[in-house]
Structure 1
Amino acid sequence: MGLVLATSTAGAAWAEPSTPTPAPIDWAACGDYGGECATIKVPVDYANPSGATLDLAIGRLKALNPAKRIGVLVVHPGGPDASGINPFILRNAIPAESAMRQYFDLVSVDPRGVGRSNPVQCDLDLLEQMPATYPASESEYQTWLAYNAKLSQNCRERTGPLFDHVDTTNAARDVDSIRAALGEKQISFFALSYGTQVGQQYAELFPRNLRAMAIDSNMDHSITSAFRYLQTTTEDFEGSFKAFARWCGQTPACDLHGENVTAVWDGLHRKAAEGTLKDPATGEPITAEQLRVFLFNGMYDPAGSWFEVAATLNALRAGKAAKLPAVATPKAETVSYAYPAIWCSDWKWQVTSFRQLDQYRRQLEALYPHTKLSPFWSDVVYCLGWQAKVTNPQHRLDISGVSPVLLPKARYDVGTPAAWNYAAASQIPKSRILEYDGVGHGQYRNSTCARNHIETYLTTLKLPPSGTHCPPEYPSQPPTSVRAAAEQPLSVTGRPLH
């Protein structure tokens, strides 16, 4: 989950790929979004620019201080299936007092295949049949393969030709089509999570069209090993949980203060794995996977979640937590579901058997005894048997001629682990890591210090000194609603997003 947005320049030895110039933009007021919306026409297939087109939906919030306007800041929504045309992404996530809001026109997008931009469609009844857990047997492994094949074929039929052109390379080219349509020689770019991959590949394709780029909580699209992917995500899950347990022990207002938080969690997880952790009102079991997803989601935003996580674990232990909810079912035959279509266009995993996956699980449970396995196992398993070409496979970035790039990261981040950020920085010339020494995903949100450095760089081009660290910012008092929320249904359904 996350924030995030050619005139070609040719030289004797270097030239950027050309971007078709769309027609002028016809902006119009845009409801709850609070800004302006429009569509631009872009090729479905950039290799065939005169072929079929897509109406790409974009949104804009004009600079609040137009006299000091710097230019356009493209803010990519991430996901990889998040919409950029909603109030949260721009108006709420970047507040009015922000220097970014004051001095930039903020422009975002519903990426191709998402929201208003020809969304990927799949049959709802088929989505409701999706397996829920990491395969525990050969039979479950084969069920996943067959299901993924059937789902991908169904989504292609429901979506049309765009289904085979939703990879991140196309998303990056769409950003340059936006730049060209706006008539901007250069743009600035800000994103977090999956949106950082869009930014990385934009810098690879169009380096001279970037004035500045800050990419927060980075993907590493060079990982080819499924085990390495699972290991890095689980490593930061374990590290985040241990930091949460230490915080609770040091915070008198935490519901588990004075307790062995690790032991409380381990006991609840053991009962869930045995099938004996049940809702006292209905007797229905709470699964280990549900419990891990709940904890995992709570590690994204310590200030907003940690008190609730502790209160909920305490309530579960006392037999007071409410029943886990079922997935909400829209009243429709089809539903938008772009995540695997985009994701599995970008990632190819050399997994050939249940035995291989089961060995990975056993190794990870030995390495990380408290959290066992990151819920991002789904990023690997969803793509096994997927019937679509991997059009943008993993690769090391090949970037040259780009302005300095700022990469804020956390000490532990369940969404984009620390190891990914270091790897991405090593592939981007003139990049600068900004260290947040706490836990969380999206340091613009989690750290006042990091937010100030991000805004300073984007507005003044002044990078923080090399080796800059921002201290952890954890809450000391809970919101008033936390204990009441702890006895409500847990928000654990669905898969986590980057």
Structure 2
Amino acid sequence: MFRRLFVSALVPVVAMSVLAGAGEASAAPAWSPCQEGKPGECATVQVPVDWNNPSGEKVGVAIGRLKATEPEHRIGVLFVAPGGPGGSGIDLFVLGDNKLTTGELRKRFDIVTWDQRGVGRSNEVRCSAEILSRRPGDYPANEQQYRNLVAYNAELGADCRKHTGPLFDHLDTTNVVRDLDAVRGALGEEKISLFGSSYGSQVAQQYAESFPARLRAVTIGSNLDHSITSPGHYLATATADLEASFNAFADWCARTANCPLHGQDVRARWDALHAKAEAGTLTDPDNGQALSAEGLRGELLGAMFTPSSRWYAFATRLRSLAAGTKTGAAATSGTTAAEELGANSYQAIWCEDWKWRVDGYRELRALREQAAALAPHTKLSPFWNDVATCLGWPAEVTNPQHRLSISNAPKILIMTSAADVAAPHAWNVAVSQQISNSVLLTYDGVGHGQYTLSSCARAHVDRYLTDLVTPAPGTHCAAEYPTAPPMTAQRSLI
């Protein structure tokens, strides 16, 4: 990516014709610097837009690589599947700073990642910024709002298809998995090690289903359970872990003397703020505008991802909201009035993987009521949008939910948190039950992405990926919560 303009091919094209997942030769990557002044290389691999028509139109998938810093001890390629869907692997793992690419694994592996099809440098899903700006922000409160939501999704999807092109209808994870195997073939690697967290866990799961013989080792954390077909179960489990995460935060404040809310009843403080937001009387002191209950819950969700970098700031924010004093945090928007198109990768990819059956507004309202019954403080996870944004979406669900069927793959190390707002503990347990040759490692704290959250989990992953030694079944890692405000926030979650 930067140090040289070109790097010689790793293996001849002749050998790659045997290794490529599509059964055809894949050209060796022509590596060049991604960004001047930083280590790492970028290249593009051409893959079919439609893998059912491999000789048809092609799309370029951008890949990035950090070569092993101890090549004499190199084990092979560690492929890192980014989260999202919609996260740029190149931005996070090649150009960014994170624990995975600055630790022990960097010494022994060429770390390879990508911007998957429809993301970033790989024909990003683009849609009208004006239509994106009209996205409904609140859970539908009546029949008309429900109908408006469905109609909006249909309008937006048609617009995204127009601006994105043929790739729009071929974004599901099955296609992503085929792309990954094509990249493996282009690199000339008979086998790869694979790391996936969050949405990246689903990519890794499905790769293990389709290409188990191509795997040396697999680690998956904060897992999505792609077997969930009930929207009620999806919302209930997501909301339950939001409630559990909030309760852990409140307990942390109670025992941490320098928490900005120490000595106060955090649950009562939150409940009062939430009630004001629901009544439309909560004002954000940073901008003087009303802060909705959806907005407040969204801030809570974000804070629960990474306690070490966000809990002090969130406690300060709640204190400021209650007192009506400014925190200095300025809100930013994803697009500006001058932009004609905006990115919408998450929705476009997600809605080709998940088929949700919701029988109208009454059922959607009932789903909310069921979730709220489980969560007296937090009421509803903002991830209700994972269901609602797909209602009326015009693309076909080409990779619908299914139980995993993995055989002849190496032992898979699965990591979970005790509570995870974006990949609930229950999902990870379900995934471990679907993969017979797996070991479940539990981090007893709160958060998303155990490799970042836990030094103990990090040590187990490093040992497994280098030496192929998994922790004993039932292993737990102790919670690690902050004791002082962070100097800088972490850039990535893995």
Q: Any conservation in 2 of the 1:17–1:205 contact (CA below 8 Å)?
A: no
C-alpha distance 90-209 of structure 1, shift in aligned 2 (>3 A): farther
Gaps in structure 2 of 5+ consecutive residues: 1-14
Q: Any conservation in 1 of the 2:220–2:412 contact (CA below 8 Å)?
A: yes
Structure 1 match to 2:335: 329
Structure 2 match to 1:60: 65
Q: Secondary structure at the match of 2:352?
A: helix
Q: 1:31 aligns with which of 28, 31, 35?
A: 35
Aligned positions of 1:379-394 closer than 5 A: 379-394=386-401
Answering whether residue 448 of structure 2 is matched by residue 436 of structure 1, we say no
Aligned positions of 1:221-370 closer than 5 A: 221-280=226-285, 283-321=288-326, 325=331, 327-330=333-336, 331-370=338-377
Normalising by structure 2, we get a TM-score of 0.92
Q: Distance in 1 between matches of 2:426 and 2:205?
A: 16
Cα shift at 1:197: 0.2
Alignment size in residue pairs: 474
Q: Residues 381-430 of structure 1: CA distance to partner in whole angstroms, max 9, x if unpaired?
A: 00000011000000011111000000111000001000110111111121
Aligned positions of 1:409-428 closer than 5 A: 409-428=416-435
Cα shift at 1:92: 1.2
Answering whether residue 99 of structure 2 is matched by residue 94 of structure 1, we say yes
Q: Distance in 2 between matches of 1:55 and 1:9?
A: 21
C-alpha distance 282-392 of structure 1, shift in aligned 2 (>3 A): closer
Q: Residues 20-62 of structure 1: CA distance to partner in whole angstroms, max 9, x if unpaired?
A: 3311111111106631000011111111111111111100000
Q: How well do the aligned residues superpose, as a CA RMSD in angstroms?
A: 2.1
Q: Any conservation in 2 of the 1:34–1:91 contact (CA below 8 Å)?
A: no
Gaps in structure 1 of 5+ consecutive residues: 1-5, 11-15, 483-496
Structure 2 match to 1:110: 115
Q: Any conservation in 1 of the 2:415–2:443 contact (CA below 8 Å)?
A: yes
Cα shift at 1:276: 1.1
Q: Any conservation in 2 of the 1:121–1:336 contact (CA below 8 Å)?
A: yes
Structure 2 match to 1:494: none
Q: Distance in 2 between matches of 1:277 and 1:95?
A: 40
Cα shift at 1:478: 1.6
Q: Distance in 2 between matches of 1:21 and 1:478?
A: 52
Cα shift at 1:284: 2.3
Q: 1:472 aligns with which of 454, 458, 479?
A: 479
Aligned residue type for 1:371: T
Aligned residue type for 1:173: R
Aligned residue type for 1:21: A
Q: Distance in 2 between matches of 1:132 and 1:50?
A: 42
Q: Distance in 1 between matches of 2:119 and 2:87?
A: 7
Q: Residues 132-171 of structure 1: CA distance to partner in whole angstroms, max 9, x if unpaired?
A: 1111111110010000000011101111110000000111
Q: Distance in 1 between matches of 2:257 and 2:92?
A: 36
Structure 1 match to 2:168: 163
Q: Distance in 2 between matches of 1:90 and 1:208?
A: 31
Q: Distance in 1 between matches of 2:194 and 2:412?
A: 10
C-alpha distance 351-104 of structure 1, shift in aligned 2 (>3 A): same
Give the share of equivalent positions with the same residue, in percent: 52
C-alpha distance 361-59 of structure 1, shift in aligned 2 (>3 A): same
Cα shift at 1:479: 3.3
Q: Any conservation in 1 of the 2:104–2:462 contact (CA below 8 Å)?
A: yes
Structure 1 match to 2:155: 150
Q: Distance in 2 between matches of 1:457 and 1:282?
A: 48
Cα shift at 1:7: 7.7
Q: 1:402 aligns with which of 388, 400, 409?
A: 409
Q: Any conservation in 2 of the 1:21–1:177 contact (CA below 8 Å)?
A: no
Aligned residue type for 1:304: S
Q: Distance in 2 between matches of 1:38 and 1:159?
A: 22
Normalising by structure 1, we get a TM-score of 0.91
Cα shift at 1:89: 5.7
Structure 2 match to 1:493: none
C-alpha distance 179-398 of structure 1, shift in aligned 2 (>3 A): same
Q: Secondary structure at the match of 2:51?
A: coil
Structure 1 match to 2:4: none
